[in-house]
Structure 1
């Protein structure tokens, strides 16, 4: 239950953070306007709350591991939303990051 809840929260966090950043990007760089920017800012704010629901109590561990989720999620977002085609090195880097997430968050530790 711990692992599945944690993974689900990381996915939700990635959707809010990456989606929020993408909305700001669209609003500014693609000239879509303040509504897109405002929606992005709200999504980024929501991301900040999602991390607090992680079952692990250590802020540093949660955010360090989230960095790997962010890397892989950003590549996936780019593929879906912008037609980005990652090369094998992008994929390898994302897999290494996700392995880091697994080590940081889910390796059993003595209590």
Structure 2
């Protein structure tokens, strides 16, 4: 589960960030409104992907995803927007990644 779950979380994060960025590009960067159409499609795919995670509780899946989302957001900022994360970004993302790992990999009782 951890490998497949991590892949799904990363794919979901890229869809969510891409979908939100499409609206950002339309409303803040003056791109065509057609960007929003693609954004809606990515956001639908994001929501569907999160339902594919093997978790008995949606809240736990969403909580674990939150840390992955933060990591992916900083990666997006660096790769797509050209903004390099600073040390505080990196410290924060490390804390979030550890938190997600605890939620994802912690032992569960039945």
**TM-score under structure 1 length normalisation:** 0.95
Distance (Å, rounded) in 2 between the aligned partners of 1:78 and 1:19 = 11
Q: CA deviation at 1:10?
A: 0.3
Provide the residue aligned with 1:32 in structure 2: 31
Provide the residue aligned with 1:103 in structure 2: 102
Distance (Å, rounded) in 2 between the aligned partners of 1:110 and 1:49 = 27
Distance (Å, rounded) in 2 between the aligned partners of 1:46 and 1:34 = 19
Structure 2 unaligned runs (5+)? none
What are the residue-to-residue correspondences of 1:56-75 with 2, within 5 Å? 56-75=55-74
Provide the residue aligned with 2:18 in structure 1: 19
**TM-score under structure 2 length normalisation:** 0.96
Structure 1 unaligned runs (5+)? none
The runs of at least 4 aligned residues of structure 1 exceeding 6 Å deviation read none
Q: CA deviation at 1:100?
A: 0.5
Q: CA deviation at 1:88?
A: 0.3
Secondary structure of the 1:53 match is: coil
| Structure with greater helix share of residues | 1
Provide the residue aligned with 2:43 in structure 1: 44
Distance (Å, rounded) in 1 between the aligned partners of 2:82 and 2:25 = 15
How many residue pairs were aligned? 110
Distance (Å, rounded) in 1 between the aligned partners of 2:104 and 2:28 = 35
